[in-house]
Structure formats: structure tokens, C-alpha cells
Structure 1
Amino acid sequence: MKTATPAMARAINDRLALDLLLERGPLTAPQLRELTGLSRPTVSDLVERLMEGGLVEVTGECGQDRRGPKARLYGIVAGRAHVAGVDLRRATVEVTVADITGTTVGTAVRDLPEHPDLAAFVESTVSAAAGDRALDTVAIGAPGLVDPRHGELVAGNGVPGWGPGFVQEVRHRLGVPVILENEVNLAAVAEHRTGAAMGSDDFVLLWLDDGVGAAVVLDGRLRRGASGGAGEIGLLEVDGTTFCESVASGAARELGGEELAGRIALAAFAMVTILDPGVVVLGGKTGRAEGDTLAGLVGERLGALSPAPTRVLASTVAGNAILQGAVLTALDTARDRIFG
């Protein structure tokens, strides 16, 4: 069995310290020693190394009467890198720019024109949100199947101006790495990190909105399928009508809670029968608007259909889940590159 080289051990320790600083905020050297279990000389060396690399800085002191090296608080240099998350819909483009700590520093929302040069429009919207900040990574959420092998759409998605090579064109215009991901998959990322699915490594997100779909997370990993089509539950046909047509937000408004819950439970049952995720989260406009009441009704009907115990929960992500998932995805990529 191979043992870690000194360089590898230093890299592992550095990343451990950086992740703790991201999670808990500024910490003193004694606090870092306590949380990491590393020795005093090792923590002293890594703090010096991270400061020299422009990743960590002194942000203040801990305690009113304490002074000196032990009292210094060390924090991430927030401006070390910036990322952008993009929610690209059929009518609008919404952008959030965040620093490396995940703090929002810029936003932009623009309506899509009828016949846009889409790559140019996205580039200008991202640039408006970023201002004079250089970007490290951009993640875009959009409808449609994204082929995991090359990161482009498998087929059209109805967004005006979309065409082959869109991601490559945006990447060329911005001059930074650009990631394209299905929008429901990104909503699931946000749900897993900050929402109802926190602490659940296996769950399905049912997205109930103007469009209908699902995202699958198993063993803590987002599952896309061979062609990016995992979770396309909207195509499921029940009694001659697709699930998308029967529960999309326009149809949902015309239904009573009992009937809507019954329709949703049938789709959830299909996912539970195959995957046994243990948790189903209801997201999108309908899932959020109806909240725990709808989740409870769906849970009752699903329990009558399936022998597999399954909790049905309403989404608890605050704000735009797709946009938040895009920012988190971009941050993961940027931090891996910059932090090691």
C-alpha cells in the first residue's frame, strides 16, 4: 500500500484547514489544532503556507483581552476568486456572482429577447453581474438533457436562440470554464446542501413547475444516466396523459389537493419502486407553494402504494434553488482548482 508523500500530506492538511475555515468562519491557530488534530508546528506551517499563497489572511483577534499569535483569527481571502451561477430559462436569464466563500457580490436579471444571439446575451448578463471582478468558473442551469460526456444538450430545449455548440461559444466569450447542467439537477444540489434533503444521501427531487422533472441523488452523488436522461419523469404516461401535462403548474391550479396529491404519488411511486430513495422532496412552484400540506397528502398515498418506507418533504431551499445549485457547482470546481 502506498503511503502519502510529504507534499501530499501537506496538500491534504491545507485542504482540511481551508474547508474548516469555509464551514466555520475565521478560526485561531489553537482552534485549528483542536479541530484537525494536527500538531502545533504543522498548523503553524500550514497557516504560513496558506497566507503566502494568498488564500488565508488575518481577520482580527479572538477575545477582548487576548493579544499575540494565539489570538489571531485566520479567514479565507474572500476575493481570491469569484464564480457565477446562471439560471437560463425560456424567458429570462438570472445570474448570481459569489466570492470563494459563497457570499453573493453581484446579481443580474434580464428578459430574453424574441430572437437573441443567446451566447452573446448570456455573456453580457454574466458580465453585468460580475462588474469588474474576474471570474474563475461559470455554471449554467437550463432545461433539457445534458450529455455528461461532452456537456452539451442532447436535443433542443425551447430556449430562444439555443443551438449546437452553445456552451463552447459562451466559454470562448467569457474565457473561463463553463459548466452546463440540467436545471432540476442543480435544484437537487441546493436541496442536498441547504434544503430538505440535508443529511440524506439518497433522495429524489420531484420538480413541479411550468416544467416537470426529477433529479436523483444516490450515495450522496447526483446521478445523470448514460445520456443525461435520469429523472425525466415528466414523460411518464398515466391514463393517456403525460405526468408533465397532468401536474404542470397550469394544470395544478385547477386541481383540488387530494387529486393533485394522487397524481404526484403515482410518479413518486414509479421512482420509489425502482430506486428506493427513502426521501422524496417536492420542489418547484407547486411543491413550495403547497408546502407541508401537499407533502403530507402525497406521503399518505405513496404509503398506500409502496411497501418501501419513504418520507415525502416539501422543499425548504430559500429563493431560487436552480441558481443556488449553479453557484454551489461553480464553487466546487473553483475550490478544487484553487485549494487543491
Structure 2
Amino acid sequence: MARPDTRRRLPRPSELATMTDRRFFRCLLEQGPMSRAAIAQATGISKPTISESAQRLLAQSLIVETSRRTQGHQGRSGVLYDINAERGHSLGIALESGRLQARALDLKAGEVWRHEVPLATAGSPDDLVALVHKMIALGREQTGTELLSLGFSVADPVDPKTGEVVPLPDSPFPVGHDLNLLKDFDTAGYPVTLDNDVNWATLAEKALGCARDADDFLYVYLGQGIGAGLYQSGRLQRGNEGLAGEIGYVQTPDGETLLSLTNRQAGQPWDDLTLTSVGHAIAMATVLLNPALVVLGGPRVDASDAFNRLKAVIEARTPRPVSIEPSGMRSDGPLVGVSIGAHQAALRHLGMTEPA
């Protein structure tokens, strides 16, 4: 019987070139302008190979030679390379009840534009799509660069298999139920990504917030709606239909959902019953998931000492101590998250990171 061939296939020259280009680009993204010699030292790749990579990236307008030079003790000074911020921008758009927010990042992940407009509560999906097109056009006008990718944050659950919004009762963003943004924009020529607002806020917390060093944490967004992001074993968990973390549908002993309970207090500080009920639901999720960290975000966290009161409820109902922290991003976590996601999609589209 023939033995299976367990030898690994060596990368082809084109694959090696792509891997080198990605490491070159990643160095600039993480550390800023660098010389070829410095990149070779940081990556362990030979100087001639790095020089070839520089020429490929320059030809694609992904990097530029800066006016700065290295300061050597002898010989010629070296050229410093940087990511070409003018190559284009990625755009994250957050849709929620009452407002549409947009945030554009250049190729270096620097914010170059941010804008917000009100949303009519009685608007139609067609009106919303038309407004998004206007926002895209305005982003191009304000940045003066090409749109490389587009990301959407929607204040409704999104099925990760289909990209469709999953309608649920008492939704804080019912107009989203009839949206299909992936189909509306899938012929645009650039990648389009979509997820719900709390998942994006969770990823923002992991990238830039107090959960940067946590591989297992629970993020809870408390605003007009209530939702949780589950980040476990280094990955965001979305569930079968994208409904993981929908703790707003946890019922009180009286059979009322948390969403229904909080909707009755819209525009007012939550009373003791509401705070206790919400804190109890977070505590149950904490017991089930055993996270290292619980992050409380959203505009409600700032209201009437809500964070401290919720923290006390959670701590009283969990058998083991757990770190509980307020989010530093509060209400704009979804916008920050979706703009980061759109930037990462742009890098994948340009071949500068591994495919998703």
C-alpha cells in the first residue's frame, strides 16, 4: 500500500513575492516610515528581496518615497518609505434610529473625514439607500480620493450566512428590516461588508479599547436597544442566524422582555427595576460564558451613575470575581468598529492581508 505524501508544497515564487509585500506593508502600517534596510532587519528578509518588494509596491501606488532620509554615519542616506495615504479611502457607515454616521479612513488607517446626518423615523428603505449614495459621494468629494471599500453597521441582527437583516419584534431600527444593503451595493466594484452595530462595537473594543489584551470578553451595548457581543477564544461569535448576544429578548419574571421594559423609559433615566433586570441578564451571560472581562458601552452607561449601579448588580450575582470596565468609546463604538472593518476589507482587496 502506497504511503501518503505528507511533504508540504513549497510556496511558488509569486506566493513568496506576495508574502514579502504583505510583510513590507505591515511594517509601514505598524511602525510608520522606514528604510529598506530597517524593514529587512525587522522582517528577517534579505535586502535585495525587500528592494524588489519596494518596486512592486511603488508600481501599485501602495507606498511612496518620502522626502525624509535616514541619517547614516557614512555613505549615502537611505530612502524612507511610507504607505500612500492618497491611494484611497475606506468608508464605514453606521445606521441606527435617528441618525446616520460616516467615518472615512485613509490607507494608513488615519481618520480623514467624519459626518453625521439625522434619519427620519418614518423614512422608507429606498430613502435610506438614496441617502447612503449621497454620503458616499460626499465622502469622495471631501477626501478627494478613490473609495476602496464600504462597510455598514446596522442596529439590527444580521445573518452571517446571507448578509440579510433578521427582523425581530421591538427592534430599535425597524426600517432596517426591509434593507438588503449587500444586494444594493454588490456591483459597486469594491468590497462591501455588513454586520450589526454591537458586533462592530465589540471589534472596536478589541482593536482600540480596554479589551485589547482579552481573548475572552463580553461587550454589552446599552442605548436605545440592548445587545451583547461575545468574543471567545480570540474570535467574535455570531451564532446560527447572527442572533448571539441578543440579551434584549431575555424576559423578566413578569414575562416582559428587556427591550420592552427599556422602551417604556425612552428618554428617561432607567429606574431601579430596569437597572436590576438588565444587570441580572448581564450576570447570567457572565456565568454562562465565563469571560475575563465585561465591558459596558453605549450612551446609557453614562446616565445617572448607571455603570456603578449595574456593576454592583452583576458582582452580586456572579460566583467568581470578573473585571467590569466602562467602554472608552461609549456611543460611537459601532462607527469606529465598522470603519476599522472597512479598512481591513480594503487591505484584503488590495492583497495586503490574507483573505478573510
Q: Same fold (TM over 0.5)?
A: yes
2:314 corresponding residue in structure 1: 302
Matched, 1:33 2:40: yes
Query: How many Å apart are 1:336 and its aligned residue?
Result: 1.1
1:60 alignment partner, one of 27, 52, 67: 67
Contact 1:215 1:231 (8 Å CA) reproduced: yes
Contact residue 87 and residue 140 of structure 1 kept, 8 A: yes
Q: Which residue of 1 aligns with 2:269?
A: 253
Q: How does 1:77-226 map onto structure 2 within 5 Å?
A: 77-113=84-120, 114-116=122-124, 117-131=127-141, 132-155=144-167, 157=171, 158-160=173-175, 163-172=178-187, 174-226=188-240
| Per-residue Cα deviation, 1:139-189 (whole angstroms, up to 9, x for no partner) | 1111112111111112265344752534312445x5533222101111111
**Alignment of 1:4 onto 2:19:** no
AA in 2 matched with 1:115: G
* 1:159/1:123 CA distance change after superposition, 3 Å: farther
Question: In structure 2, do the counterparts of structure 1 residues 78 and 67 end up closer, same or farther at CA, with 3 Å as the change threshold?
Answer: farther
Q: Where does the alignment leave 5 or more consecutive residues of structure 1 unmatched?
A: none
Please state whether the residue corresponding to 2:34 is helix, strand or coil: coil
Opposite residue 257 of structure 2, the aligned amino acid is T
Partners of 1:17 and 1:226 lie apart in 2 by 38
Rounded Cα–Cα distance in structure 1 between residues aligned with 2:17 and 2:118: 48
Q: In 2, Cα distance between the equivalents of 1:4 and 1:296?
A: 54
Query: Residues 160 and 153 of structure 1: is their aligned pair in 2 closer, same or farther, counting only changes over 3 Å?
Result: closer
Q: TM-score, normalised by structure 1?
A: 0.88
**Could you say which residue in structure 1 is the equivalent of 2:259?**
244
Return the alpha-carbon distance in structure 1 between the equivalents of residues 314 and 270 of structure 2: 22
Match in the other structure for 1:21: 28
Alignment of 1:277-292 (within 5 A): 277-288=291-302
How many Å apart are 1:209 and its aligned residue? Answer: 0.7
Distance 2:35 2:271 in 1: 56
User: Partner residue of 1:265?
Assistant: 279
Aligned sequence identity (%) = 27
Distance change in 2, residues 1:227/1:160 (3 Å): closer
When residues 260 and 29 of structure 1 are mapped into structure 2, their CA distance, relative to the original with a 3 A threshold, is: farther
Letter in 2 for 1:177: P
- Of stretches 276-285 and 64-73 in structure 1, the one that deviates more from structure 2 is 64-73
**How many angstroms does 1:246 deviate by?**
4.6
Give a deviation string over 1:274-320, Cα, whole Å, max 9, x none: 21121110000122557xx7555544543442234421111013772
User: How far does residue 49 in structure 1 lie from its aligned partner after superposition?
Assistant: 2.3
* Number of residue pairs aligned between Structure 1 and Structure 2: 335
Taking the aligned partners of 1:318 and 1:302, their CA distance within structure 2 comes to 19
* Separation in 2, partners of 1:268, 1:162: 26
* Structure 2: segments with no counterpart, 5+ residues: 1-6
Which letter does structure 1 place at the counterpart of 2:317? L
When residues 68 and 189 of structure 1 are mapped into structure 2, their CA distance, relative to the original with a 3 A threshold, is farther
